[in-house]
Amino acid sequence: MAKAVKAVKKVASKKVATKKAAPKTVAPKAVAPKTVKAAPGILAVNIGISDADRARIAEELSKVLADSYTVYLMTHNFHWNVTGPMFNTLHDMFMGQYTETWQALDAIAERMRALGHYAPGTYAQFAALSSIQEPKGVPDAQQMIAMLLSANEALSRTARQAFDCADAADDQPTADLLTQRLDVHEKNAWMLRSLLQ
């Protein structure tokens, strides 16, 4: 029996030894595509506006975005919490204003991305960048109107400063966007101001 086992092992080892190994092929080395190195937070962009101008415009737009988000949140808060004899009028007015502002947030942030910069997107970033103070508690209806008037005027000043920066760099799309925002927030301020007269 031992002789038979040895014979089987001997034959098996000869078969393994006589099998030809598959020829080894060497795969070509993968070549990574060349990329343009950019500073962290800045993507390579060549749209006819210098890097320095795009950075300044994006910085100003981040302030407009922060003020816009603060106005949006304040207006939505007041829409939920307004009371008193003007409830229905203010509730509806605030809804129209916060809805329009909400839609504008995307356009502002996307313009920053088109300029090659990231948009701020956290409460902490907005709080640090905004020129508008958040309300403490729930003010009465007259105080809500006054606070929203002040906030819309502050946002208009921020947008006008950003417009000047964009205009100086011949950034027409940003200037156009900011002209639209100025029109909306100056009109909001006029309507709110009229309620206090």
Residue pLDDT, tens place only, 44-78? 788 999 999 999 999 999 999 999 999 999 999 99
In a domain, 15, yes or no: no
In a domain, 57, yes or no: no
User: Which amino acid is residue 133, in one-letter code?
Assistant: Q
pLDDT tens digit string along 89-116? 999 999 999 999 999 999 999 999 999 9
pLDDT of residue 46: 82
Q: Give the number of other Cβ atoms within 10 Å of residue 188's Cβ.
A: 24
In a domain, 54, yes or no: no
Whole-angstrom distance, CA of residue 25 vs CA of residue 10: 31
| Structure-token pair, residue 126 | 């907005």
Query: Does pLDDT of 30 surpass 60?
Result: no
Which CATH number characterizes residue 161's domain? 1.20.1260.10
In a domain, 87, yes or no: yes
Lowest average pLDDT, out of 28-32, 68-72, 77-81, 118-122, goes to 28-32
In a domain, 51, yes or no: no
Query: Does pLDDT of 35 surpass 60?
Result: no
pLDDT of residue 26: 44
Q: Which domain holds residue 103?
A: 62-196
Query: Does pLDDT of 190 surpass 70?
Result: yes
Query: Does pLDDT of 21 surpass 60?
Result: no
pLDDT of residue 39: 57
Whole-angstrom distance, CA of residue 178 vs CA of residue 173: 9
Return the SS3 of 32.
coil
In a domain, 127, yes or no: yes
Q: Which residues contact 57 (CB under 8 A, 6 or more apart)?
A: 49, 115, 162, 165, 166, 169, 171, 174
Report how many domains make up the chain.
Answer: 1
**Percent of the chain beyond pLDDT 90?**
75
Q: Are 176 and 125 contacting, i.e. CB atoms less than 8 angstroms apart? A: no
Query: Does pLDDT of 4 surpass 90?
Result: no
In a domain, 29, yes or no: no
This prediction has a pTM of: 0.77
User: Which amino acid is residue 119, in one-letter code?
Assistant: A
In a domain, 9, yes or no: no
